[in-house]
Structure 1
Amino acid sequence: MAASMDLEYPFTGRWLTQNSPANRVPSHGTTLFATSYAIDFVPVNEAGGTAPITFAALMRPEPPENFPGFGRPLLAPIDGIVVAVHDSEPDHAAYRGPPSIGYALTQQRRARAGWKALAGNHLLIESHGGVVALCHLQRGSIAVRPGQRVTTGQMIGRCGNSGNSTEPHVHIQAIDIRDVDAAHAVPLTFNSALPRNGEVIDIPG
């Protein structure tokens, strides 16, 4: 089992850190599906915001295309071999304000359906005895296939809103084996550090 995995950030531009294991473990409030050290990054604009907050946005679901990061390129965070790809889930509406409460109530149903239902479109990259998962990708955007070798910084897909996601973002976790149902969570860092909740990562590109 890998003791930890050090990654590059899988994007350029400005991204907001959420659900960081630097703040708490398990980072997402559960150890289910080896997510103890998982982390989320939400793409934001130059002002640090996502889609504009309007009265309508707080009262009903919004198209994911309203968000500045929807479709933003994602890059391989490490050299390795792609060992799994799932790319057929639709990008559903985004939920903020009161609509997000109703959406949250459906999480248990998705959890019962398994990790793929939570992850949405995703890929797994195996490297150095561990496996990195990138989840919630845009439908049809994954640019690699199982068995393909990838290098750090190579475009692999685009940010989407598939699976268990209230707005476009990327969920990243490291595990010790390819089988997520049987895997153990592996701690991860980015360039030997780990951002905290609320920290904005700005990567030139």
Structure 2
Amino acid sequence: MALPPDYTAVAIVQLGEAIMPFKGTDGKFHVVYDLLLTNASVAPATLERIDVVDEASRATVIQSFSGRQLVDPDCGYGDCNRLRTLPSSPAPDAKIAAQESRALLVHLSFDSLADAPKMVLHHAYLRAAANPGTMEPSDVDYLVTPVNISAGSARVISPPVRGTNWVAQNGCCDVGFPHIPSLSPLSGKLSNSQRLAIDWMRTNDDGEFVSGDKTKNESYLSYGQEIHAVADGTISSTLDTLEANTPGVLPASDPELRKRITVETVDGNHVVQDLGGGVWAMYAHLQKGSLLVKPGDQVKAGQVIAKLGNTGNSNAAHLHFQLMNDPSLIGADAVPYVLDSFSYAGFVNPELMLAADDYITGKFFADHLATVQPRTDELPMSGNIINFAG
């Protein structure tokens, strides 16, 4: 594909690997990926806008990122703060100092698969060096960085949990909660295995995550729930040695507990399963002594493999689930997926979650539907309330 030859003071490259659209519970088809922007000049640069355009029709703008979408210190959640310092915190402004880098979290959505192009380009508008010898920035723009957004089809899997009143915490696609912005420098590259991860937490019928003594794991509705294999496959690795955390304390936020976190233990007791085709599933934060599988075991979809716990970097019982393109978290990238069957039962307002205490006490079902909606082959979006068969 021919692109105009340009001096590009800010180099823009895709982070991660193959991506493709997946259908969300909002009825739209979503594409998420990350870009790395590096100011390779001696002059400062300021990102004013990036347009994602159809490679086959370059005047067609699919999505434009500017203003608060890039930087907004007053925005806690939503389509904002997509420009990140490294490894990933909201950028204080849209400036990229000479010989420094920023990441951009890209989210595209389409009404139908037919609307999604096979390939996109990125039209960047900046104040930056116009040539290698320039010391002062000026208005520049360039068309760069082809990205294939049609690398295949999202993997269809069965759900990892069963029963009613499950909330898809920290899911796709807005910024403000963990996972979407979780870039990590591992194995010599920036990767994000958690880009499409969900933290599954269960409530009672009143929408409470915890009932009773909030300092005890057993008071959380999620704790001890059975975890099910999402597809046929082979167990690649397990960890089953970590004790349960005390609820209400996130180890990464505690100076002493933080020292004990390693790449191997950050996800707590866990199971990694090979689903075939270069895709692995990870089930994390499991209860010690509950694992029913070991490396090399062949498992079937729906088979119980462990119980949900509160281990690793976790402040309350939940199942962290994701698909990835490597059996090790060290450098793995997220793989898009959808769940084969469930019922949509409403959503939890993100403002309620942001205002919740560290124990996640309270009632969160203000937006629960009176009649649930059967869904197939969709990915629950962040905050969705989901019922599963069984």
TM-score computed with the length of structure 1 as normaliser: 0.83
Aligned 8 A contact 2:251 2:313 in 1? no
Find out whether 1:181 has 2:340 as its counterpart: no
Distance 1:123 1:143 in 2: 10
Residue 197 of structure 1 corresponds to which residue in structure 2? 382
Residue 47 of structure 1 corresponds to which residue in structure 2? 206
| Alignment of structure 1 residues 146-157 onto 2, 5 Å | 146-157=295-306
Distance 1:51 1:202 in 2: 18
Please list the CA deviations of residues 80-120 of structure 1 after superposition, one character each: whole Å capped at 9, or x if unmatched: 1000010111111111xxxx5x7552389759843322100
Find out whether 1:91 has 2:240 as its counterpart: no
Q: Which of 123, 142, 145 is the aligned partner of 2:291?
A: 142
Q: Which of 158, 163, 183 is the aligned partner of 1:8?
A: 158
Distance 1:34 1:86 in 2: 18
Aligned 8 A contact 2:171 2:196 in 1? yes
Q: By percentage of residues, which structure has more helix?
A: 1
The AA in structure 2 aligned to 1:154 is: Q
Q: For 1:65, what is the secondary structure of its paired residue?
A: helix
The AA in structure 2 aligned to 1:132 is: A
Please list the CA deviations of residues 102-142 of structure 1 after superposition, one character each: whole Å capped at 9, or x if unmatched: 75523897598433221000000101220000000111101
The AA in structure 2 aligned to 1:120 is: G
Find out whether 1:63 has 2:216 as its counterpart: yes
Distance 1:140 1:20 in 2: 28
Q: By percentage of residues, which structure has more strand?
A: 2
Does 114-123 or 149-158 show the bigger shift? 114-123
TM-superposed CA distance for 1:35, in Å, is 1.5
Instruction: State the structure with more CA Rg.
Output: 2
TM-superposed CA distance for 1:188, in Å, is 2.3
Distance 2:159 2:256 in 1: 30
TM-score computed with the length of structure 2 as normaliser: 0.46
List structure 1 runs of 4+ shifted beyond 6 angstroms. Answer: none
The AA in structure 2 aligned to 1:198 is: G
Does 22-31 or 7-16 show the bigger shift? 22-31
Distance 1:19 1:188 in 2: 16
Find out whether 1:125 has 2:281 as its counterpart: no
TM-superposed CA distance for 1:13, in Å, is 1.2
Q: Which has the higher contact order (CA 8 A, sep 6+)?
A: 1
TM-superposed CA distance for 1:5, in Å, is 2.6
Structure 1 regions of 5+ residues with no counterpart?
none
Residue 54 of structure 2 corresponds to which residue in structure 1? none
User: How many residues were matched structurally?
Assistant: 194
Aligned 8 A contact 2:261 2:312 in 1? no
Structure 2 regions of 5+ residues with no counterpart?
1-16, 19-151, 185-191, 341-376
Find out whether 1:164 has 2:323 as its counterpart: no
Aligned-residue Cα RMSD (Å) equals: 2.6
| % identical aligned pairs | 28
Distance 2:195 2:255 in 1: 17
